[in-house]
Amino acid sequence: MVVKDKVGRKRYIVFQQKDGKFHKGEMIAVLNRSTEKPYLMMLEGKYGIVFIRHWHQKEVTEFLNKSHTINGKTVVLKTIKTSGTARKAKKILEELKQRE
């Protein structure tokens, strides 16, 4: 058994907001609906990064790939990539922003 199995490896999920845009407070409210309680690390424009432990990766990815409604606004979220380091997740986010 590896010590990291008890503590949990970190995963960073890069996602995109489609068909609308939530503000930071609204996005946090959406994430709080998940049973795994992912942490919003960064939200810039229509892209963002969520931090979770590795054993919740599948559930959080499925949760993010749905449409969510807050205050009458409906936004479809789409996960783009999962990374093991924050640096790589930020690099992916910057590349996506430059493509626009």
Is residue 5, in this structure, part of any structural domain at all?
Answer: no
| CATH code assigned at 64 | 3.30.70.3250
Is residue 28, in this structure, part of any structural domain at all?
Answer: yes
The residue with greater pLDDT, 5 or 84, is 84
Evaluate if pTM is beyond 0.85: yes
Find, among 77, 72, 71, the residue nearest to 31 by Cα.
77
CB 48 within 8 A of CB 13: no
Is residue 3, in this structure, part of any structural domain at all?
Answer: no
Is residue 94, in this structure, part of any structural domain at all?
Answer: yes
Number of folded domains that form the chain: 1
Look up the domain containing 94 and give its range.
Answer: 10-99
Chain segment 41-83, per-residue pLDDT in tens: 999 888 999 999 888 899 999 999 988 888 888 888 999 999 9
Chain segment 18-52, per-residue pLDDT in tens: 877 888 988 999 899 888 889 999 998 889 999 99
Is residue 2, in this structure, part of any structural domain at all?
Answer: no
Is residue 42, in this structure, part of any structural domain at all?
Answer: yes
